[in-house]
Chains A and B, each alone.
Chain A
């Protein structure tokens, strides 16, 4: 009986059966349409090459997702290792006597006015999206997974191959940056 349960691959049908699912999975993480399309296409190509390795123990889709996950972690490693240009703005003094204190221009200032109304405003989501979009990509990806998609810390670390302390540093930088962006573009204008 077990033999009839064995799964087979059917590459001719991959696009029609799985492309949309894989695409939605990817865009939830990377938030970039063209990039998501490329990674899905790339997944199919790699899967085709690795066809012989498919043992038929999992479903075709599970196998394709595993390949896609490797594509995503490769992509993340690549952008994570490009230093410099996309670095987030500093929020605290990095050294000297005042090390760890708020930088003058980054100190939170009062959000006077009708905060409740601003939270209820339909435009809020768009402004937040823009502010997240302004973060360096390597921060935006982690931040979205953690905050917008509510993925567990442990799972994010596994999926992107980063450590827990790494994740919290990223979340901290993202949130201080985001606070400033929302202060300038939403709560104080």
Chain B
């Protein structure tokens, strides 16, 4: 039943993605009640999740492309192989 800080924070990480089981969440709650360090970790973990959401938004608008030179270069190399 009793968790170490390592285990508790691991469940806390998992629950950031809503993938911790009910039993895990109960054990985590019990640990957080007694452990100030992990309580702070849990609080900051939520803030981290908010930050990461922002990053996700930024990245979802970003597509990365090959430039023309890179495309030409690739095409040339493939052409040599085709002709072999």
B66 touches A171 (CB 8 A): no
What count of chain A residues pass the 8 Å CB interface test?
50
Write out the residue numbers on chain A whose beta carbons fall within 8 Å of the beta carbon of B63.
Answer: 24
Interface of A is mostly: helix
Nearest chain A CB to B27 CB, angstrom units:
14
What count of chain B residues pass the 8 Å CB interface test?
39
Nearest chain A CB to B61 CB, angstrom units:
11
Residue B29 is within 8 A (CB to CB) of chain A in the complex: no
Residue A63 is within 8 A (CB to CB) of chain B in the complex: no
A148 touches B55 (CB 8 A): yes
Interface of B toward A, CB cutoff 8 Å: 4-7, 9-10, 13-14, 16-17, 19, 37, 40-41, 44-45, 47-48, 50-52, 54-56, 58-59, 63-66, 70-71, 74-75, 77-79, 81-82
Given contacts A168-B14, A175-B16, 11 further A-B contacts (CB under 8 A): A16-B71, A19-B66, A23-B65, A27-B64, A41-B78, A44-B78, A100-B7, A108-B37, A147-B56, A175-B13, A176-B13
- Contacts A/B (CB < 8 Å), 23 sampled: A11-B78, A15-B71, A16-B75, A20-B66, A23-B66, A41-B78, A101-B5, A101-B6, A108-B41, A115-B47, A124-B51, A124-B55, A147-B56, A148-B52, A148-B59, A153-B19, A171-B14, A172-B14, A175-B16, A176-B9, A178-B48, A179-B48, A182-B51
